[in-house]
């Protein structure tokens, strides 16, 4: 009987300290009387801002997770002046020129708009020069040795069409 009485008193003392009169669970003193979760060191501030990191979200709403990653004027500064003040992309060494031409390769797109990725692959007159004179100036196909004759006949096989 004595053991049951000691056990009952112990449980009643634990129950009295576990639940407060207002009904809040105080088993670990994690929830304060005002209802805020205080398991971490001010994870959520009283004003509602997320402070999981060292001032990760500033009072003005800017994201400051990195070293001034988003500037006050809204420009992205994650790289070394990656986005310039005028809006041009400067991620590479002058990759996009001020006039808007793509300069990712060594003058890959010329100022006149012609493709110069190969050694004069597209000529100034627009003809394809990827092979050795594959398309002649008159428009005939010269990919084979005189496969299409000037008169339009197919000469892929020797005299199969006459």
By C-alpha distance, which of 125, 103, 99 is closest to 114? 125
pLDDT for 162: 44
pLDDT tens per residue, range 81-114: 555 666 665 555 555 566 666 555 554 555 666 5
Tens of pLDDT, residues 113-156: 655 555 545 556 665 555 554 555 666 555 555 555 666 666 55
- Residue 160's pLDDT is 45
Predicted TM-score of the model (pTM): 0.15
Express each pLDDT in 21-79 by its tens digit.
666 655 555 556 666 665 555 555 666 665 555 555 566 666 555 555 556 666 655 55
CA atoms within 13 A on the CB side of 102: 9
pLDDT of residue 119: 52
Number of H helices, E strands in the chain: 1, 0
Q: Is the pLDDT of residue 8 over 70?
A: yes
H or E element that contains 154: none
């Amino acid at each position: 009987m004595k053991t049951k009485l000691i056990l009952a008193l112990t449980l009643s003392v634990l129950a009295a300290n576990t639940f407060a009169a207002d009904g809040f669970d105080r088993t670990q003193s994690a929830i304060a009387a005002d209802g805020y979760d205080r398991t971490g060191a001010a994870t959520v501030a009283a004003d509602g801002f997320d402070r999981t990191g060292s001032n990760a979200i500033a009072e003005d709403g800017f994201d400051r997770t990195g070293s001034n990653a988003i500037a006050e004027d809204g420009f992205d500064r994650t790289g070394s002046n990656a986005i310039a003040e005028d809006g041009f992309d400067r991620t590479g060494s002058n990759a996009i020129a001020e006039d808007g031409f793509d300069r990712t390769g060594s003058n890959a797109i010329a100022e006149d708009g012609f493709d110069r990725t190969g050694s004069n692959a597209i000529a100034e007159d627009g003809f394809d020069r990827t092979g050795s004179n594959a398309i002649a100036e008159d428009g005939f196909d010269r990919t084979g040795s005189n496969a299409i004759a000037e008169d339009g006949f197919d000469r892929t096989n020797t005299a199969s069409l006459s």
